[in-house]
A and B are shown apart, each in its own frame.
Chain A
Amino acid sequence: MAVRRGGEAADLADAGVEALATFAQLLAGGLLTGLVFALVAVGLTLIYGVMDVVNFAHGEFLMLAMYATLGLALLGIGPLVGLPLVALALLLFGIVVYRVFVRRLLAGPPEATVFGTFGLLVLMQGLAQALLTSDYQSAPNPPLQGTLRLGPVALSQATLAEGFGALVLTAALFAFVEYTETGRAMRAVAEDRIAATLMGIDVQRVNGLAFGIGSACVGAAGALLMLSYPVYPTAGVPFALTAFVVVALGGFGSIQGALLGAVLVGLLEVFGGFYLSPELKMVPVYLAYLVVVLLRPQGLLGRR
């Protein structure tokens, strides 16, 4: 009897240890997932912050960056080495898109940017489908495919690199906007476009640069994501959907807000998926979004 009870207690203790290990794994996985979401969201929030444009084609910019990374990888330049090249290419692409397209939309009614960037989404997806086929393609022999084990917690090296990239990118972007002359100009444009113009700031130049830098961020994100995801014409869609929620949750235009929102979404999704049901894992995310929108419409760290 005593022996059996002892066995039960041991079983119970085992179960407790196991539940704790699972919790630790979910916590680490959720945090890291959140950082991956932040990686995609920072570029979106920068563009919105400066010029009040929600780029609906953000996911397609990501897809383009992933294809660019794949192209370099096929030439023998791996995703990590290729990252600066892809970021630079997307910077230029962003500036061009702003110059020939978004600039004209800004002159029209506010809805013009919504429909215009949505049209860009359709165009880019269609072109990718026609030119690159809808096959799934992964970078050949990507680095960092191992696992890092810390006690009961196992983390993918690729995801760790993506999370680390998100932190670096967010910090760099924050420093740029806060402490550089151009960053100050961007904040001035964001605050009051007309006043900025009167102060002698070239608004078109600042806007173009912001669109370019936002695109460069998503370029870096695309290169890092190729460590662990395949690319296909709609590869950006799941990330972009989350990025929109992240930006709205964290506060439109707030860089730290995007980081906070993303980590929150990652944790809610992973814990919701495990303790509720994987089918319902997005429910807590959208619920949190609704609560924030109702109680604090500008988002957690957004300014009015």
Chain B
Amino acid sequence: MHARRLSALLAAAFALAAVGGGGATRAADAPEIVIGSILPLTGPSAQTGAGLRTAQQLAADLVNGHVSYPLPMAGKSGLPHLGHARIRLAFADSQGKPDQARAAAEQLITQEHAVALIGTYASSTTATASQVAERYGVPFLNPDSSAPGLTARGLKWFFRTTPHDGTFAENFFQFFNDLKKKNKNLGVKRVAIVGEDGLFGTGASDAEEALVKKNGYELATRVAYPATTSEVNAEVQKVKTSSPDVIMQASYVPDALLYMRGYKQQNVAVKAILAQDAGFIDPNFVKTLGADAEGVFTREVFSLEIKHRNQAVPLIDQLFRQRFADKPLDGNTARDFMGVLVLADAIDRAGSTKPDAIRTALQATNIPGKLTLMPWNRIHFDATGQNDGGVGIIEQVQNGKYETVWPFDVAVKPPIWPMPAWKR
């Protein structure tokens, strides 16, 4: 008799412990809301995928938890307008392959009954997964793919929070304008554009070329070169003989090093080199070039220095480090973290898990930049589903470190303009 009662008690305790593990007692009666997440969990980008998964899960846990941060939806113990329902992320692996991403989206919608999808990092997998969401009429939020074309497909259910490569090119010209306000004589008329001839370099160079003309500058030259080249003699001469005032460049690591050495050797004197990250923010870049990297500008999507605008940045960074082998929050993980919050905010405002209601709520999203981890002005989607408040930041190598120099309200150092002459 005693034994039976004891075991019943134990079972009850176990059940309580299981439910109470998350610290929320209402979880038992409120329904769970499933958000499907597609990420490269295996394959060449698995390392990145693991970080993104950790960041997304951290965001979901903050939404379900009760600790408040200056971020949308964090600390309200679930979604208040849905009876504090908890959100659950269901993860599916894209393997970094477009066809796998398509299958993953299909599975999350039909088997997990996800009310919305988020993902997928690579532009190519985002393209296929979002087509599936479109077919089923399920909202798809993309926090981290930068191919400009993704929001030019006329999809009804596709929303992107991150700025794309065209935005980053625009930022260079906004940077010029802001600098001109401070320092009237910038001395920039002729712009040389250098880019590797793959998707990345061509996309960036195209955007830059259009903006050079639109903003009344002169195109000195445009150099497209094969990324796997082992020498850039002709390319550097092309740039030099076009006598540009600034160079805008999109290169990977080995070619970025070749160009920098070539510019120095040939004494290509410009006011600034403005790079589209990639090779120019690889840890190897400054390490290899040393003093010759001084003064180079490059765009970035995120910096921990944004703490000056939102004090949540170091706190979230701390939480992320605890979960991810002490690796700091970076541009990719910060964007994915924000993506989950944006979806949670929309589902909550929709007050419903019906796709139509969530989509309408997404369209009405308007989160001020100060409530994000990003340097953005706001999160608000235009008619194509692109966040029209996205901005990148510009960093400059100063004393061997990447320092944020623009936008001025998140900058930690003033830009050094023009960049220093080559050291002999």
B234, A270: Cβ atoms closer than 8 Å: yes
What's the minimum C-beta distance from B51 to chain A, rounded to whole angstroms?
Answer: 15
A238 to B282, CA, bound (A): 20
Given contacts A18-B241, A230-B254, A279-B225, contact A135 B233 (CB under 8 A): no
Q: Is B238 an interface residue (CB 8 A)?
A: yes
Q: Is A282 an interface residue (CB 8 A)?
A: yes
A138, B287: Cβ atoms closer than 8 Å: yes
B237, A22: Cβ atoms closer than 8 Å: yes
Q: Is B183 an interface residue (CB 8 A)?
A: no
What's the minimum C-beta distance from B162 to chain A, rounded to whole angstroms?
Answer: 24
A278, B265: Cβ atoms closer than 8 Å: no
Q: Is B261 an interface residue (CB 8 A)?
A: yes
B225, A281: Cβ atoms closer than 8 Å: yes
Query: Chain B 283-304, CB within 8 Å of chain A: the 1/0 string?
Result: 1100110000000000000000
A37 to B, closest residue via Cβ: B230
Q: Is B223 an interface residue (CB 8 A)?
A: yes
Q: Which stretch from A23-31, A169-177, A184-192 is at the chain B interface?
A: A23-31
B230, A239: Cβ atoms closer than 8 Å: yes
Partner of A36, one of B231, B266, B282, B283: B231
A198 to B254, CA, bound (A): 51
A225 to B, closest residue via Cβ: B230
Given contacts A135-B284, A230-B253, A282-B226, contact A26 B261 (CB under 8 A): no
A29 to B282, CA, bound (A): 27
Given contacts A22-B241, A135-B284, contact A269 B265 (CB under 8 A): no
B230, A278: Cβ atoms closer than 8 Å: no
Across chains A and B, the number of contacting residue pairs, with CB separation under 8 Å, is 94
Residue in B197, B238, B283 with the greatest tally of chain A CB atoms within 10 Å? B238
A6 to B322, CA, bound (A): 74
Given contacts A237-B228, A278-B238, contact A230 B257 (CB under 8 A): yes
Q: Return chain B residues, CB-CB under 8 Å to A156.
A: 261, 265
Interface size on A, residues (CB 8 A): 39
A206 to B198, CA, bound (A): 45
A273, B233: Cβ atoms closer than 8 Å: yes
Residue in B233, B261, B283 with the greatest tally of chain A CB atoms within 10 Å? B233
A138, B288: Cβ atoms closer than 8 Å: yes
A88 to B288, CA, bound (A): 27
A200 to B293, CA, bound (A): 60
Q: Is A271 an interface residue (CB 8 A)?
A: yes
- Within residues 253 to 304 of chain A, which ones have a CB less than 8 A from any CB in chain B? 266, 269-274, 277-279, 281-282
Q: Is A20 an interface residue (CB 8 A)?
A: no
Partner of B254, one of A135, A229, A272: A229
- Within residues 224 to 259 of chain B, which ones have a CB less than 8 A from any CB in chain A? 224-226, 228-235, 237-238, 240-241, 253-254, 257
B230, A29: Cβ atoms closer than 8 Å: no
A271 to B238, CA, bound (A): 11
A138, B233: Cβ atoms closer than 8 Å: no
Query: Chain A 119-163, CB within 8 Å of chain B: the 1/0 string?
Result: 000000000000000011110100000010000001110000000
B197, A279: Cβ atoms closer than 8 Å: yes
Q: Is B215 an interface residue (CB 8 A)?
A: no
B267 to A, closest residue via Cβ: A154
Given contacts A154-B265, A230-B288, A278-B223, contact A270 B253 (CB under 8 A): no
- For the complex with contacts A25-B237, A270-B231, 20 further pairs of A-B residues with Cβ separation under 8 Å are A18-B241, A22-B237, A22-B240, A25-B266, A26-B237, A36-B230, A36-B231, A136-B253, A136-B284, A137-B284, A156-B261, A229-B254, A232-B253, A239-B230, A269-B234, A273-B225, A273-B235, A274-B237, A279-B226, A281-B229
The 4 closest A-B pairs by CB, nearest first: A273-B234, A29-B233, A274-B234, A138-B288
22 A-B residue pairs with Cβ-Cβ distance under 8 Å, sorted by A, are A22-B240, A25-B233, A26-B237, A30-B233, A33-B230, A135-B284, A136-B253, A136-B284, A138-B288, A156-B261, A230-B254, A230-B257, A230-B288, A266-B231, A270-B234, A273-B225, A273-B233, A274-B234, A279-B197, A279-B225, A281-B234, A282-B226
